[in-house]
Amino acid sequence: MCALCKSNVKTLNVHHKHYEQGKKPWEYEIDSLITLCEDCHKQDHQDKKELGMIAKFITEVNNV
């Protein structure tokens, strides 16, 4: 079941809650993984990308 939308009919993906430099995908503890449907997985990565762009913009504005 998807941890976000609770769908049990969509294709599920394993999602890493966080990433650690140098760690291979299979080296993570089970509690750092969740299942997300493909739609929620894609949206989560898109949201993180957008937040990163916003944070970069704020940092640049504050450094001017």
Q: What does pTM read for this prediction? A: 0.72
Average pLDDT, the chain: 92
Chain mean position to CA 58: 21
Q: What's the half-sphere exposure (Cβ side, CA atoms, 13 Å) at 14? A: 8
User: In the block, which residue shows the tokens 């949206």?
Assistant: 43
Write out pLDDT tens, residues 38-63: 999 999 989 988 998 998 889 988 88
Q: What is the DSSP string of 10-46?
A: SPEEEEESS--TT--GGGS-GGGEEEEEHHHHHHHHH
Q: Tell me what pLDDT residue 61 has.
A: 85
Altogether, the residues listed in the chain come to a count of 64
